[in-house]
Structure 1
Amino acid sequence: MLAIKTLTNNLTTFGRSVRLMGDKFEISVVGNDPLLADEQIDIAINEINRVDRLLSTFSEDSNINRINRNAGIEPVKVSSEVFRLIDRALQISELTHGAFDITYFAGTGYTGDDAAIATNADVKIAPSPIMLTNYKSVVTDAAKQTIFLKEKGMRIGFGANSRGYAADRAKYVLQMNGVSSGVINAGGDLLTWGNQPNMKPWTVVAADPTKRDEPFANLNISNMAFATSVNAEKYTSINDKKFVNAVTAKKGFPVSEITSVSIVSPTAELSDAMASPIINIGVNAGLYLINQLNQIACIIIDDHNRIYTSKDVNI
């Protein structure tokens, strides 16, 4: 159902909420023709569904499935779009020292002769899950456009940044179709371009009313992507005591210092990918990392509701 939110200077924000990629997407476009706006939103939805199929691990013939099936066997030639997406993900892994990692462990993958012990001096040991969860074991060949996972049982997946990439693609096709302003809310992460109907910049409040009570709700996010990762409060009760269930990727210690991280950057893919790693990295190291980069900013809230911001962020 098409929702009409605001009318100013003959410009209106038309929006629709739909469930895509297992999450709630809200797609809003600014214009003056409700029928045209409805058609444009359909185009955006089609593009998001295309990305969902592209990155699916359920389709037998998808690039991702073929890469995973051939882990430890041989390189797989992929589409240029998938190759670029994987290459960017590996760059982010390098940047965050592995805090962001698209690889995961799906089983030993060692049976029969692979797991056999030949002699006391020649013992084959199957890789541990830690060894298999390692972005450095992904081999890319730009010339041949192939991807190879070195170890059997190793897999890749895009749960951490697929929604962001889908939102970026939807924005791209909308802009190519002449939509000069809009907002895509992908499960609470925001991607904006252009201005509101009143010609003012998009802010977190204007783009997503659910952010109204946040202390940085009036942050200008026009032509940027805004993604938030929360340190989920999942507890295990032992003798009436509560223990946080979130752990860091590196040390395995409970994460208690950071409550949430919000990243502002030019693309939803990058904002999505960088938000969770900062929780694992910590306040000081996270701010240091972000401050070394161009066109990216972060807002960190700790468990005492203290707010930390990277340089050039005014809230």
Structure 2
Amino acid sequence: MENSIIKRQVILAFFILILPFCGCAQVLQSRQTTLMGSVFEITIVAQDSTLAQQHISAVIDEIERIENLISEWRPHTQISEVNRNAGIRPIKVDKEVFDLTARAIAYAEMTHGAFDISIIAMDKIWSFDGSMDTLPTAEAVQQSVQNVGYKFIILDSIQQTIFLSKKGMKIGFGSIGKGYAADMGRALMLHNHIPAGIVNASGDIATWGTQPNGKPWAIGINNPFKNHRILKTIKLTDGAIATSGSYEKYAEINGKRYAHIINPKTGYPATGITSVTIYGPSAEYANALSTSVMVLGLIEGTELLKKNPTYKYVIQTDQGKVKKN
């Protein structure tokens, strides 16, 4: 289960406001706002400030549209309706919601359940706000996963319905929803012929084009063991990046750190990896991979990444070892 707090390890570097570009003056405009429970920053390169701000507003509207479809926290959304009818009846949804759910199930199949959108049904037996000082009982952990299992998410492509076959189940897109929103914001801007920009969904980032000076967007990945130190700088034009990590949101009990990212099959926090950054074409897919690698661990996670050669990675273990390709 992702949390936007850890996303602050990804930072954008050196924006230049007005420079010659393609033979004409270009401006770079950015705006921050809270969407999907997280801080989004939208950056647009356009011919003038007014046009840039108009397109930033269009991206914000698109993300709000998505949130009003897939949020499990807003009672009027289609996903909330699906969750309310768990064990009762299938719910017809928009094709966009159906397809996103189908992809999430494909990610679960690909990772043998390390990725699972039904994990939000877990009882809240873990707390990562600093208040937890004792481990939950084994019985409590076992009970917490009773309503988790992607194989109980039943899709009917003919009727375009989603049915959660076990009462008490829930699904949510905290793990890939912001990445999907970043991808969709970028797609909208490309459709509108905006030459360049970034949609930064609290660290799930989609980029296109270049800075006004013609250089790629530079995105720095912080070193979780050294404050204010950059582990690696990624240069992107048409690409995306996502990071999952354990070092800013965790519980420390008896000298051991327990990450906020939970293994859906065991109910216990992921261990062994401090941060995973994935970059490639899609922010949604990069985030699915980064979350899965955190759960799978270094060996199995690296094997998964080898099957996805269009995505590059930087992994840092709890011992400070860095693995990248």
The question of whether the paired residues in 2 share the 8 Å contact of 1:132 and 1:153 is answered with: yes
1:261 positional shift: 0.1
1:205 positional shift: 4.2
From the superposition, tell whether residues 236 and 216 of structure 1 become closer, same or farther in structure 2 (CA, over 3 Å): closer
1:6 maps to 2:17: yes
From the superposition, tell whether residues 54 and 253 of structure 1 become closer, same or farther in structure 2 (CA, over 3 Å): closer
1:107 positional shift: 8.4
Aligned mates of 1:188, 1:236 — CA distance in 2: 24
Once the two structures are superposed, what CA deviation does each residue of 1:225-277 show, in whole Å capped at 9, x if it has no partner? 1111111352344xxx4221225444566644211000112111111222122
Aligned mates of 1:254, 1:142 — CA distance in 2: 34
Give the structure-1-normalised TM-score.
0.82
- What does residue range 219-238 of structure 1 map to in structure 2 within 5 Å? 219-232=234-247, 234-237=250-253
Give the structure-2-normalised TM-score.
0.79
Which residue does 1:63 correspond to in 2? 78
1:243 maps to 2:256: yes
1:97 to 103, 107, 112: 112
Aligned mates of 1:136, 1:166 — CA distance in 2: 25
Which residue does 2:285 correspond to in 1? 270
Aligned mates of 2:228, 2:40 — CA distance in 1: 18
From the superposition, tell whether residues 152 and 107 of structure 1 become closer, same or farther in structure 2 (CA, over 3 Å): farther
1:189 positional shift: 2.5
Once the two structures are superposed, what CA deviation does each residue of 1:111-130 show, in whole Å capped at 9, x if it has no partner? xxxxxxxxxxxxxxxx9543
1:33 maps to 2:48: yes
2:162 to 105, 122, 147: 147
1:257 to 259, 272, 288: 272
User: Which ranges in structure 1 are unaligned for 5 or more consecutive residues?
Assistant: 109-126
- What does residue range 10-159 of structure 1 map to in structure 2 within 5 Å? 10-104=25-119, 106=121, 129-159=144-174
From the superposition, tell whether residues 69 and 275 of structure 1 become closer, same or farther in structure 2 (CA, over 3 Å): same
Aligned mates of 2:250, 2:203 — CA distance in 1: 20
1:101 positional shift: 0.6
1:163 positional shift: 1.0
For the aligned residue pairs, the C-alpha RMSD in angstroms reads 2.5
SS at match of 2:319: coil
Which residue does 2:229 correspond to in 1? 213
1:296 to 298, 308, 311: 311
User: Which ranges in structure 2 are unaligned for 5 or more consecutive residues?
Assistant: 1-14, 124-141, 222-226
- Report the residue type matching 1:298 in the other structure: Y
From the superposition, tell whether residues 230 and 128 of structure 1 become closer, same or farther in structure 2 (CA, over 3 Å): closer
Aligned residues between the structures: 281
Larger radius of gyration: 1
Which residue does 2:192 correspond to in 1? 177
Aligned mates of 1:26, 1:100 — CA distance in 2: 27
Which residue does 1:202 correspond to in 2? 217
The question of whether the paired residues in 1 share the 8 Å contact of 2:108 and 2:150 is answered with: yes
Once the two structures are superposed, what CA deviation does each residue of 1:202-228 show, in whole Å capped at 9, x if it has no partner? 22149xxxx9832211x2222111111
From the superposition, tell whether residues 205 and 297 of structure 1 become closer, same or farther in structure 2 (CA, over 3 Å): closer
Moved over 6 A (4+): none
Aligned mates of 1:274, 1:296 — CA distance in 2: 9
SS at match of 1:25: strand
2:204 to 154, 169, 189: 189
